[in-house]
Amino acid sequence: MTTISNRLQDILSIIQSAQRASQHHQTVKLLAVSKAQTAQSMREAYHAGQHIFAENYLQEALEKQVQLGDLDVEWHFIGPIQSNKTQLIAQNFSWVHSVDRLKIAQRLNDARPENLPPLQLCIQVNVSHEESKSGVLPEALETLATAITLLPKLQLRGLMAIPAPTLDEHQQRVQFKQLHQCYDSLLEHGFSLDTLSMGMSDDYRVAIAEGATIVRIGSALFGARTYAKQEDLR
Ligand SMILES: *Cc1c(COP(=O)(O)O)cnc(C)c1O
């Protein structure tokens, strides 16, 4: 039987070889995406050595933070953010990957407790230019990045994207390259960044080849998501 621990070891070795083969000489971190997974599965991953987890839904995340309160987890928020959620996100997470509007960044900054380190932030970029998609358009990115760097309780670390889903490797590559270009352009304009959050279960090898420093992996680690089961546990 394949356990979470086996899958974690497999993923880590794929990450390692992709990292060695990458022209970008970056170090890649695995972010375990635990939305719709049980606290028990997360505990299993934790004991296998995975200490960084990402959640999409605030209420679900807060419940798991209580259930896993005895563990030293680093919590990342990667879901869409509504204004009324910013306070609890600012209080309960180390990183947020999904900021795409100044208003949300300001609210996170205002709500970040003084006794915590700055909230580590990635701006989500809409590289596929889909109208329905979250993320700032590349042409509006620098203005948003400039405004965010003025907020003292946020630390801008880099960029995140969720490309249009495709199993076509060329299409995956094109979108990752676009995010990398946005990143390079900010670096050229003097921003100090170190994070490219891109790549999920189906495309993380390609993302690493294109310079990803954080890959966000859910189903390849935990198995398919079953929201119905999650509801039963509440
Ligand atoms: C769900 C999710 C992931 C993980 O997706 P998998 O395909 O299960 O690896 C990564 N990033 C974001 C923003 C997600 O919402």
Residue whose tokens read 């279960």: 201
- What's the pTM? 0.95
Q: Is the pLDDT of residue 164 over 50?
A: yes
CA of 199 to the centre of ligand 1 (A): 9
β partners of residue 214: 29, 197
Residue whose tokens read 């801008």: 156
Residue whose tokens read 């070889």: 17
| Range scoring the smallest mean pLDDT among 14-18, 53-57, 168-172, 181-185 | 168-172
Write down the pLDDT at residue 228.
Answer: 54
- The verdict on the CB of residue 160 being under 6 Å from ligand 1 is no
Residues 60/204/82/231 CA torsion (nearest 10 deg): -20
The structural domains of the chain, ordered by start, are 4-233 (3.20.20.10)
How far is CA 208 from its chain centroid? 14
- The verdict on the CB of residue 78 being under 6 Å from ligand 1 is yes
What are the tokens at 68? 């896993």
pLDDT in tens, 100-157: 999 999 999 999 999 999 999 999 999 987 777 899 999 999 999 999 999 999 999 9
- With the C-alpha atoms ordered 136, 141, 145, 148, is the resulting torsion angle positive or negative? negative
Q: Is the pLDDT of residue 44 over 70?
A: yes
- State the closest ligand 1 atom to the C-alpha of 220, by its place in the atom list counted from 1: 9
Write down the pLDDT at residue 35.
Answer: 97
